[in-house]
A and B are shown apart, each in its own frame.
Chain A
Amino acid sequence: MSSLKGWKDLPPATTVPASTSEAVETGQWRSMRPVWDEEKCIHCLQCWIQCPDKSIKANADGKVTGIEYFYCKGCGICAAVCPKNAIEMRPEAEFIEQ
């Protein structure tokens, strides 16, 4: 998942080439990870509406398709608003690759 660069590949002088936050991996901040259960989901899109970032993935048919961990900061709003408990917040430590 991580696309972090080493110091030799970073642009100099703290600069960031002109870009939007689309390129910023705020998922690095996350300590709790929302895990989506497709079986329980009724596609009400409450999570998609309430997500303060763009971390709930939905398709053109209005169906939730998953979670974008590149952006998700793990705030847990999606899990809190879900009427079916289809999103579970789990410690990020469980997902560390060995």
Chain B
Amino acid sequence: MPRKDITSGNWAVAEAMRQINPDVVAAYPITPSTDIPMKFSEFVADGLVDTNLVTVESEHSAISACLAASVSGARVMTASSANGVALMHEIFPIAASYRAPIVFGLVNRCLGAPINIHCDHGDSMAERDSGWIHIYCEDGQEVYDTMIMAVRIAEHKEVLLPVFVCQDGFITSHCFEPVEFLDDEQVTKFIGERDPLLPLLDVDNPVAYGSLALTDYFFEIKRQQIEAMKHVETAYNDVAAEFARVTGRNYPVVDKYRTEDADYIMVIMSSAAGAAKETVDKLREQGHKVGCLRIRLFRPFPAKAIVDALKGAKGIAVCDRAASLGAPAPLFTEIKGALYDAGVHIPANTYVYGLGGRDFFPHNAEEAFMDLINKKMSTGERYLGLRE
């Protein structure tokens, strides 16, 4: 009988970290970080893990320490949120370039100003070109499971890239819900030992990381990272299939909810998919052929899986919990690009919702679906839950 407990998204990440037992965790232990390092530090204090917990003076130092430990050969994890993530920004592209397989519990909260501690995806969307893998989770169970899978994906020999495991701040991170845990031994067996490629501590095979590379080699090194990203989806699918065999829980790169025969599909990410799916059920009962496509893997962007799911639809509503000020919202831009490349022309509405933690209710989802059903389509921006 698997262990099941009532837990928060934050604690689910901390519990996964306890079971993963990483060599090094470096974290800055207060707002704007998360409950994750706080809970994990209890495990360290109680002697439940062997981790070297490095308490640093800032988020920038936290990710810097993580990077140094990772290229030394350690298995490394950390967590942060919002402005803490923003302070780490300088080091993110370096970590990706050094091919450091850091697993990062990212709790999505908006970037100030104004000061706000609630959810939107502005913090991680600002990092979408930093070279990290981005996985967005709907609930606490998925967050827990994804942390364990992420270790394998990050450390995959054809990948070797850091991973953001994203969950919605407060909505997922602080709400308590049932989560089913693996046994410690199952986790240990599933993740195995890290076998680092070129660890700095291997003094018999010395290498230098991060040398100067100007007009001569910088371009080629970026091309190598692009190539690594191309291997992610295969590695992801292999790891997810193995995880499904162990747990029975299956996590494809996109979560298709009643999309097979759907005329109208809402594309959305993370916890808001709950309200979207509930609305799908309601509208289906009323005879409307609607569905929900939740994007789980955002970097690399699984264009083919998305086009396959959308190509039969008559209209789509792309919902972004982030705005790209002065340009279309980030998910919408990607979806449009994927459809264009595939030669698929579907009328698409773009909606920005939920900024600063504004709730996304089923009636918000219904409003967007009714636009599609009533053929109220246009290319301009639309908002859900905004006061005019």
Contacts and interface: CB of A to CB of B under 8 A. Distances in A.
Interface residues of B, number: 25
A64 B193 CA distance: 57
B386 interface: no
A46 interface: no
Interface string B362-385: 000000000000000000000000
Interface of B is mostly: loop
Interface in A5-49: 5-7, 10-18, 25, 28-29
A18 B207 contact: yes
Given A4-B216, A25-B216, A29-B214, A15 B224 contact: no
B216 A14 contact: no
Contact of A14 (B206, B210, B215, B223): B210
Contact of B99 (A12, A28, A29): A12
A32 B213 CA distance: 20
B246 interface: no
Interface string B185-219: 00000000000011000000111111101111100
Nearest to B211: A16
Contact of B224 (A10, A18, A29): A10
B349 to A, nearest CB: 40
Contacts of A25: 216
A10 B221 contact: yes
Contacts of A16: 207-208, 211
A15 B207 contact: yes
A29 B213 CA distance: 11
A4 B220 CA distance: 10
B209 A14 contact: yes
A14 B221 contact: yes
A16 B197 CA distance: 13
A28 B215 CA distance: 9
A79 to B, nearest CB: 24
Contacts of B220: 5-7, 10
Given A7-B220, A7-B223, A13 B214 contact: no
Contacts of A10: 217, 220-221, 224
B222 to A, nearest CB: 9
B251 to A, nearest CB: 28
B209 A13 contact: yes
Most A CB contacts (10 A, CB to CB) among B207, B208, B213, B227 go to B207
Contact of B211 (A4, A5, A7, A14): A14
Given A7-B221, A10-B224, A18 B211 contact: no
Interface of A: 4-7, 10-18, 25, 28-29
Given A18-B205, A28-B216, 5 more contacts: A5-B217, A7-B223, A12-B160, A12-B224, A13-B98
Q: What 5 A-B pairs come out closest when comparing CB atoms?
A: A18-B206, A13-B99, A7-B220, A7-B223, A15-B207
